[in-house]
Structure 1
Amino acid sequence: MPLPLLAIPVLHSSGAWIAYAGSGYLAGTLSTTWVGALILGNTTLFTSIGLVSTAGIAAASGVLAGFGASAAAGLGTALTAVGLGSVASWMGIAPAATFLGFTAVGWSLMGVGAIALALCAVFTRRTMKKLNEERAKGGLETINVRQLVAEVRAYEVDAMWKVLQKLAKKDSTLQLKGSDAEISIGGRTFSIKKLRYRINKDGSEKIGYVNRLGRFVSVYLVKGPDGPEGPGPLPA
């Protein structure tokens, strides 16, 4: 797989951040935060290695803020409304093809430090220099590749927690643990940092995790393919 053209967040005239690549801004990447614009500008890269799922995209684009009263409707409609419907599909699932020599299984087993080391082939010194120059313009501190990966990962986990929190308000089968690090789904406990939000091609939306074989295991149905089915836990 060829290395992607990285998009670098730059300050927009509105005061927000927007991803810039090649010779111009990338449509649909305006975000209130630096990391949000970074995620929106590099969705292919970050989703292909499982760092980000639909939850992170929704948070970065601002549509997660409206995910509440109509939570059972899922995030797909909201993302489509802002032009991100296509990039939201199948997010959180590492593709079968290898990326930087790693299979889906390889990426699913790697921690933040190992992923950062592998991504040094993409985030070169020249790229990081330019990225940090733009961060400085926004009053942000210089970061390295490991810190960048950690920030993206933390953003995704926080977005996933917010999705689960809103769903839990309407579904008693979801119970957030006191530490905010785990959630009980239909009596089974899961680490929130391992969960991903996926929009399937049939229109259904599910929460699950990538197992050690690189397969997505669904544990909660947010919305069925035709809309009315869900939300609710899925059988083990």
Structure 2
Amino acid sequence: MPLPLFAIAIPVLHSSGAWIASTGAAGYIAGTLSSTWIGAFVLGNGTLLSSLGLVSAAGIFGATGGLAALTSSAALSVGSALTAVGLGGVASSLGIAPAATFLGLTPVGWAVAGTTVLIASTLGLYFTRKTMRRINEEREKGGLEPISITQIVKEVRLLEAQSLEAILTRLSLEMDTIQLSDDQKNVSVDGQVFSIHRLKYVVNTDGSEELVFVTRAGRKKRVLLIKPAPDLDGHPA
């Protein structure tokens, strides 16, 4: 089966001093401005990265700069728990980013998500030498060291993990049924223990948001419904 076509978005320095994704002739991509290189990369390539199981809505949210806001006093005083408003509601209330930046990016290819080496080889089918040269030229302009595909994968994985840990920490403050292990590697939900690196935060097309466990066969198992789908009037069901 032929691979879908994805134009790799390359982070470039914005006039503000932050990073923003660009596709060359098409110019900047709206909604991809980030304080970090990896944040702009993830926002610009979210569809590809989620299709490979590298990021979920958690990583996309983290790329917007939402992690600090999620644990801030402002976020905690939004007036509703994360389990009621979800990531979309938090982002909208705090003005972090348009909901469209990460809503709807439900991973569809988790079955291919394996080791860093496997993912790097898959991404290598999309990254040409010209693309990597351009990426590193732009990184040099921003004072960053050259990077390889394998290193990009590791940075994306780290952002996803940090984002999910922050979200789970917030959820554990709201719900007695959620507990994080001391080493932050496992989470207990209603007495069941799951490895955090196999959990994903999913935003479904009906507007509901859930935490799912991804089996080694690439199947999804709901662990926790975080936000139910709204009813016809737009209110939580």
After TM superposition, the score normalised by the length of structure 2 is 0.85
Residue 183 of structure 1 corresponds to 187
Post-superposition shift, 1:90? Answer: 4.8
Gaps of 5+ in 1: 95-103, 230-236
Q: Secondary structure at the match of 2:107?
A: coil
Q: Paired residue for 1:91, among 106, 126, 129?
A: 106
Aligned counterparts, 1:147-186, within 5 A: 147-186=151-190
Q: Distance in 2 between matches of 1:13 and 1:20?
A: 13
Deviation (angstroms), 1:125:
1.6
Aligned equivalents of 2:39, 2:153: Cα separation in 1: 13
Q: 1:8 aligns with which of 4, 10, 18?
A: 10
- CA offsets per residue over residues 87-138 of structure 1, 9 Å max, x none? 42252332xxxxxxxxx53x13x21111101211111221111101111111
Amino acid at match of 2:15: S
Residue matched to 1:71: 82
Question: Contact 1:47/1:91 (CA < 8 Å) preserved in 2?
Answer: yes
Tell me the residue number matched to 1:98: none
Equivalent-residue separation in structure 1 for 2:227 and 2:4 (angstroms): 35
Q: Decide whether the 8 Å contact of 1:11 with 1:18 is kept in 2.
A: yes
User: In 1, are the aligned partners of 2:177 and 2:191 still within 8 Å (CA)?
Assistant: yes
Q: Is the 8 A contact 1:93 1:216 kept in 2?
A: no
TM-score, L = length of structure 1: 0.85
User: 1:2 & 1:92 partners in 2: Cα distance?
Assistant: 15
Select the residue among 115, 119, 123 that pairs with 2:119: 115
After superposition, where does 1:1-236 map in structure 2 within 5 Å?
1-23=3-25, 24-67=27-70, 68-69=75-76, 70-72=81-83, 73-79=85-91, 82-85=97-100, 87-94=102-109, 105=111, 107-108=112-113, 110-226=114-230, 228=236
Please give the secondary structure, in 2, of the residue aligned with 1:25.
coil
- Supply the AA of the counterpart residue of 1:21: T
Separation of aligned partners in 2, 1:209 and 1:90: 17
* Amino acid in the other structure paired with 2:47: T
Normalized per residue, which structure has more helix? Answer: 2
RMSD of aligned residue pairs (Cα, Å): 1.9
Could you tell me how far 1:15 is from its partner in structure 2?
Answer: 1.0
Runs of 4+ off more than 6 Å: none
How many residues are matched?
A: 218
Give structure 2 stretches of 5+ with no counterpart.
Answer: none
Paired with 2:37 and 2:11, the residues of 1 have a C-alpha distance of 6
Equivalent residues of 1:64, 1:75 under 8 A apart: no
Deviation at 1:21, TM superposition (A): 0.3
Q: Is the 8 A contact 1:19 1:38 kept in 2?
A: yes
% identical aligned pairs: 44
1:159 counterpart letter in structure 2: S
Other structure's SS at 1:75 match: helix
